[in-house]
Amino acid sequence: MKILILDNYDSFTYNLVHMVEKITGNFPAVFRNDEIPIEEVAKYDVIMLSPGPGIPDEAGILKEVISTYAGSKPIFGVCLGLQAITEVFGGSIVNLENVFHGVATTMRVTDKEAILFKDIPESFLAAR
């Protein structure tokens, strides 16, 4: 499986890279959002969109990747990547009054039967 991580100029991108490598045994390809032609993305099976500064409209080909490949490839977005997915599919992003950047927060799984939460503890710390 060929995995692409689109790097939106964020220091956490390589945390994703190392997690993907550990879980899959494959080192993903990493390209910054302004360093890979949209056509090159086609050769990857899975697309991961990293966090990053700013807003989705200012992040290179980020939104174009989503609109071009959604429906034909799995796409996973973290932070800015998820914001871009939201906007491409008609949602809107609003600023929080109180920003929680890097704050550890206790999360609770409310649907233990959901496949998304398989093998996840009922309660765990996550960074926001």
**Tens digit of each residue's pLDDT (9 = 90 or more) over 13-57:** 999 999 999 999 999 999 999 999 999 999 999 999 999 999 999
Cβ neighbours, 10 Å, residue 93: 12
Tell which CATH architecture fits domain 3-88.
3-Layer(aba) Sandwich (3.40)
Domain-wise residue ranges, the chain: 3-88
Instruction: Report the C-alpha gap between 9 and 20 in whole angstroms.
Output: 18
Q: What is the pTM of this model?
A: 0.85
Report the alpha-carbon angle 17-102-28, nearest 5: 5
Position 38 scores a pLDDT of: 98
Please state, for a pLDDT cut of 90, what percent of the chain lies above it: 84
Residue with the bigger pLDDT between 128 and 94: it is 94
Position 74 scores a pLDDT of: 98
